[in-house]
Amino acid sequence: MSQNDFQNLINKVMTDEAFAKALADNPSETLKSIGVDATPEMLEAMKGVDANSLKQLAASFGDDRAAF
């Protein structure tokens, strides 16, 4: 996943409540829907994570703090 793709994912989680919920409920299919092939490690890390937690995590990255 490129830095730009990652930032777009973060922005979508922060601004689209339905997407954040779908990502929490079904990460594999939701990521596929935006063209991201999730690794088994990514999917394992997302088990049990709810939409609010995803939004808090996304907010912690901010515009200039992407993990790449």
Scan for tokens 């092939």, then name that residue: 37
Q: C-alpha distances in angstroms, 64 versus 1, 10, 20, 49?
A: 17, 12, 21, 24
Scan for tokens 């689209």, then name that residue: 16
Scan for tokens 């994912």, then name that residue: 9
pLDDT in tens, 7-49: 888 888 889 999 999 999 999 999 999 988 888 998 898 888 8
Scan for tokens 């088990």, then name that residue: 47
Indicate the pTM of the whole model. Answer: 0.76
pLDDT, position 36: 87
pLDDT, position 6: 81
